[in-house]
A = this chain, B = another copy of it.
């Protein structure tokens, strides 16, 4: 089973990396770019076939290691 995890900065937290990229894009002439937000994208291979169990385990991984839930949101897909 494969899990895809998206970790993003919470909407009300300043995304300094996104702001820096926005500035760089503007300086390169991409003036149409508005807000930029940057997150992480993770692909995990899981040696399990039980989808319910995999979901609980991926949630635990996100809470404990993959996301800093103080400032980040996460979501995941299993396939």
Contact = CB atoms under 8 A, between A and B. Distances in A.
Interface of A: 6-8, 18, 21, 24-25, 28, 30, 32-48, 57, 60-61, 64-66
Contacts of A39: 40-43
A42 B46 contact: no
12 contacts: A18-B42, A21-B66, A25-B61, A33-B44, A33-B47, A34-B44, A34-B46, A35-B45, A36-B42, A36-B43, A37-B43, A40-B41
A36 B2 CA distance: 10
B43 A40 contact: no
B44 A41 contact: no
B36 A44 contact: yes
Contacts of A37: 42-43
